[in-house]
Chain A
Amino acid sequence: MNGLPSYLWERRNEIVSLTAEHVLLVLLSTALAVSIGLPLGIVLTRRPRLARPILGFAGVVQTIPSLALFGFLIPLPLIGGIGAQTAILALVFYALLPILRNTYTGIRSVDPAIIEAATGLGMTARQRLWWVELPLALPVVLAGVRIATVVSIGLATIAAAIGAGGLGVLIYRGIAIVDNRLILAGALPAALLALAADLLLGAAERRWSGA
Chain B
Amino acid sequence: MSAPAVEFRSVRKSFQPGRAVLEDFSLIVGTGETVVLIGPSGCGKTTVLKLVNRLLEADAGDVLVFGRDVRQEDPVRIRRQLGYVIQEGGLFPHWDVARNVAVVPELLGWSQERRRLRAEELLAMVNLPAGEFSSRRPRELSGGQRQRVGMARALAGDPPVVLMDEPFGALDPIARRALQGEFLGWKRKLGKAVLLVTHDLSEAFRLADRVALLEGGRVHQAGTPDEIRDRPTDAFVREFVSGGLGTR
Contact = CB atoms under 8 A, between A and B. Distances in A.
Interface of A: 111, 113-114, 116-124, 127, 131-132, 135-136, 211
B107 A122 contact: yes
Which has the most chain A C-beta neighbours within 10 Å: B87, B107, B139, B153? B107
B94 interface: yes
Q: Which 4 A-B pairs have the closest CB atoms?
A: A117-B90, A122-B80, A122-B79, A211-B94
Interface in B13-35: none
Interface of B: 50, 53, 55, 76-77, 79-80, 84, 86-94, 103-104, 107, 137, 139, 153
Which has the most chain A C-beta neighbours within 10 Å: B77, B87, B88? B88
B79 A121 contact: yes
B55 A120 contact: yes
A61 B109 CA distance: 46
B51 to A, nearest CB: 12
B83 to A, nearest CB: 9
B92 A120 contact: no
A117 B107 contact: no
A116 B86 contact: yes
Contacts of A136: 93-94
A116 B90 contact: yes
Nearest to A117: B90
Given A113-B87, A113-B89, A116-B55, 9 more contacts: A114-B93, A117-B90, A117-B91, A119-B55, A120-B90, A121-B107, A121-B153, A131-B92, A211-B93
Nearest to A118: B92
Given A124-B76, A211-B93, A117 B86 contact: yes
A114 B139 CA distance: 14
Contacts of B92: 114, 117-118, 131-132
Contacts of B80: 121-122
